[in-house]
Amino acid sequence: MKTNRLSDTLAQALNDQMTKEAHASQIYLSYAAWADGEGFGGIANFLFRHAGEERNHMMKILEYILKRGAKVKVVAIPAPPSNPTSVNNCFEKVFEHEVDNTKAVYKIVKMSFNEEDWITWNFMQWFVKEQDEEETLALELLDKIKICGGEKATHQALYELDKDLEKTPDDATLARDVTTEEP
C-alpha cells in the first residue's frame, strides 16, 4: 500500500528547501561571527538568534516531509557567501538573501497549487507569512543603517545601532496586524 502522500517532484522541492533553510542558518551564523569579530556584539546577537530561527525552519520542513510519508534526504549544506564588507553591506546581503528565499517558497506554493496538493499548499502558507515578516525585518534593518548614514555611518552611529539591535525583537509587525489604535 502506498502511504507516501507527496509527489516525487514536491518531495524533491521540499528537500531542496530544507537544505536552503539550513544554508540560510549558516549564512546568518557566518555574518554573526563576522559582526562579533568586528566588535558589533549587538548585531552579532541579533544574527545569531536568526541563525537559530532558520534552523527551526529547516526542522519544520524535515518533519513535514516525514509526516507525509516521503523520504528526507540530508545533504551537504553549501558554504555561506563571503563575509560582508561593512554593516551596510551586511544588511543589504541579508535583505537580498530573504528575497531569494521568498522566491523559493513561492515556487513550492505554485507547485502545490498546480498539483492540487492542498495540505502542502496550506503548510507552505506558514512560510509565506514568515517571509513577509523576515523581509519586513530586513527592510527595517536597512532603514536603520540608512538613518545612520549607510556606508558613511560614523562610529558613534554604529555604536548606537549595535546597542539597539541587541534588544530588537525577532519578529516584525506586519501590515495585516496594524490598527488605527496601534499603528
Query: Which stretches of the chain bind ligand FEO, using CB under 6 A?
Result: 21, 24, 54, 57, 98, 101, 134
Question: Residue 51 CB, nearest distance to ligand FEO (Å)?
Answer: 10
Contacts of 134 (CB under 8 A, 6+ apart): 98, 101, 102, 172
- 125 residue type, one letter: Q
Closer by beta carbon to ligand FEO, 133 or else 166: 133
- Class of residue 105 by CB neighbours under 10 A (exposed 0-12, middle 13-18, buried 19+): buried
Question: Residue 121 CB, nearest distance to ligand FEO (Å)?
Answer: 18
Handedness of CA 80, 86, 89, 94 (dihedral sign): positive
Closest residue to bound ligand FEO by CB: 57
Closer by beta carbon to ligand FEO, 115 or else 135: 135
Closer by beta carbon to ligand FEO, 40 or else 127: 127
Closer by beta carbon to ligand FEO, 95 or else 148: 95
